[in-house]
Amino acid sequence: MSGMKLGLNEEQELLRDSFSKFLRTESTPARVRAAEPMGHHPAFWAELVGFGIPAMRAAEAVGGGGMSLLDAALIAEEAGRHLAPGPVIETIVAARLLAELGGEGLHWFERVQSGDAIVTLALHEAGLRPRQIVPGAAVADAVLYLDEDEIVLLAGSPPGKAPANLGKAPLAAIDLEDEADGRTRLILAHGPDARYAYLAAIEEWKILTAAALAGLGRRALEMAAEYASEREAFGRLIGTYQGISHPLAESITDIDGAQLLIWRAIWAIARGRDDAAASVSMAFWWAAKSTATAVVRSLRTFGGYGLSVEYDIQLYFRRGRAMALPLGDPLAELVRVADRLWGDTRWSPLPDPGPIEIEFGYGEAAERFAVEIQAFFDENLTPERRTAMRRSLDGYDPEMQRKLAEAGFLYPDWPDEFGGQGRSAYELSALGVVYEANDWSRVAIGTTNMGARMAMAFGSDALKAEALPRFAAGTASSCLGFTEPGCGSDVFASKTRAVKDGDDWIINGQKVFTTAAHVSDYVLLLTRTDPDVPKHKGLTMFLVPMNLSGIAVDALHTMQEERTNITYYADVRVPDMYRLGPVNGAVGVMASAMKLEHSGEGYHVSQPALVDAAVAWAREAVDDSGCKRIEDPDVRARIARAAVHNEVADLLCRRAVWAGVEGVPSRAFGPMSKLFTSETYLKDSADLLELAAPDSLLEGHDALGVLEFKHRHSVGQTIYGGTSEVHRSVVAEQALGLPRTRL
């Protein structure tokens, strides 16, 4: 295992593209409308059978396609995207189950494969819910259901009509125990193995339904973005209004997260992970929630036109709201996440996913590296050092910094020529996880890394020779001098002046939020060198030594127990050797710096501790009746929601790292990871703080103290590295093609 692999193979790309092309022809909006109110189009279904979709998951030995669960998820995603008029998912799942059972089940599989019959499955056990709404039952020749440890096939003529319903789907209310309904019952299998197989099929239905929801939600957002890029209001394209573009940006980020969660669940099953069952429930709940929000936002983009039946977006709204609900309230699946993570039902029957090539792990080299780093912390991280570091950079430990450098754990990804080890981005990500697990700050390391990287790329030979060996040895560090009191996130409005004076530059100005300035030896300083050109063209970057005359540093303390700084520059004489890049060419340097800052690596690392602290509190705290708080379904659901957010955050960050390694072109991946992780961190920390109140008001080092501290810490995450508003704009433009919103 060399590292992550989040791309599809050639066969999967071909499968997805071929099926998408098929649906563009066979599942047009006109045909979808023609299929209503039943939600099933016989001609489409005949073509679908010819494409081999119903039998795709059955083994090749019995005439099926032998395809993997990931292959089926790709098909389901496209089916959702194009609103395929028929019970595609139910039939795929039922056909695989029939083929697996053999005997009479195999006979029914052959009928499904040939198009002679449609078979669906009930999502709830007959003993728990004898009468239930069954998706696809309005057109099905048979319904499979589970009665304790028996798999029963209920056969008969399909109703041929569906009750009026939100999604105009071919569902029907079926009484599974009614002996006078004119249908025949056949027990296909019984015993523990039969029960396992059926319950595993339900989990497969969840995965494929989640994929269909994600595909549907993505298409709805694309339709909204297309409309917003054409429709004008008040003399402007409506897509330029942040009230339109920002919610769409949030939703496309959520949908990307849903797709990653679905793939992660399949991967977890294939790898036999303990959290595989929880991953399935996470994927289903998150896809249902994200798509429900996405279709509402998409329809609202169309305004009143979105309500008209002549507009396709209302089809997506109705189907997106209805598709997940035959299983019941999606919130129940969130409670199941908690049960599968922290309760007695962690294990659950799961389907055979087939061969899976995708990989979410960082790889064996990263795992070994993480073990080495943890061993270093076990040996060197004393309680005193840990306590000091909690005070952030006021607790900066130069000796520990040098030790980390000597051990190769400071900048291990740097090239050998600059004192690094050439470690991969995956190994660097593993390092970040261990740092966070040991509650050791990487702030000074991160700011120094940016200054050093800019020196490597844009610095003079003299600057490289002076600064880089000191950085690599841990004997020097750097801070960032971008933001000014009157500029905020608009760094290109910088007014700090640098005026050429012979071979030197004279710098005057002020920066704010120069974190780590009081312990730094250099500052990566953005200056204005030409005030007579457009603001982004007249800027020059320097890596300025902090010991030069005229530099002053004043502390600026935050409510997060962090120290940042205000820095002043009064007639500071800086030799030209400290200039980075060409004069008036800071935009190129800044673009490179922002690429590092928006890479996605490390944004999620604070969230696992938040969830762990909430679980630890809930296991110990009791309510007024003396019951453990973890036993309360609402408590479990709220912590589980944070756990799902943490998983999505992790996956978005992993994807951003993977894209950087593989050279996958997407300027949206980094901003998506920053936007999602910081916003959910803020929301979850607030919710969990309230959940544990009033005890969570108190500062401390126990679980409750972690909740209090993390909430104070979370606010800054939405500001540092660019505010969430900036990232929403970038995501809207890069992921959805919306017009520029930052005017």
Specify the pLDDT at position 192.
97
From edge to edge, which strands make up the β-sheet containing 184-190? Answer: 119-121, 142-147, 150-155, 184-190
Taking only the tens place, the pLDDT of each residue in 556-576 is 888 877 788 999 999 999 999
Cβ neighbour number for residue 128 with a 10 Å cutoff: 8
End-to-end CA distance of the chain: 46
| Domains of the chain, start order | 10-197 (1.10.540.10), 209-342 (1.20.140.10), 478-594 (2.40.110.10), 607-736 (1.20.140.10)
Taking only the tens place, the pLDDT of each residue in 254-276 is 999 999 999 999 999 999 999 99
Separation CA 253–CA 245 (nearest Å): 12
Burial class of residue 270, CB neighbours in 10 A (0-12, 13-18, 19+): buried
Separation CA 290–CA 578 (nearest Å): 48
Q: Mean pLDDT over all residues of the chain?
A: 93
Burial class of residue 182, CB neighbours in 10 A (0-12, 13-18, 19+): exposed
Separation CA 394–CA 385 (nearest Å): 12
Q: CA neighbours within 13 Å on the CB side: how many for 154?
A: 26
Buried b (16+ CB within 10 A) or exposed e, 668-703: bbbbbbbbbbbbbbbebbebbbebbeeebeeeeeeb
Separation CA 143–CA 587 (nearest Å): 63
- Give residue 179's pLDDT band: very low, low, confident or very high (50, 70, 90): low
Taking only the tens place, the pLDDT of each residue in 287-309 is 999 999 999 999 999 999 999 99
Specify the pLDDT at position 478.
95
Highest mean pLDDT among 199-203, 419-423, 661-665: 199-203
Specify the pLDDT at position 347.
79
Q: What is the mean pLDDT of residues 64-79?
A: 98
Q: Is the peptide bond before 545 cis (omega within 30 degrees of 0)?
A: no
Alpha carbon dihedral 259, 16, 656, 341, in 10-degree steps, equals 30
- pLDDT at residue 589 tops 70: yes
Separation CA 43–CA 50 (nearest Å): 11
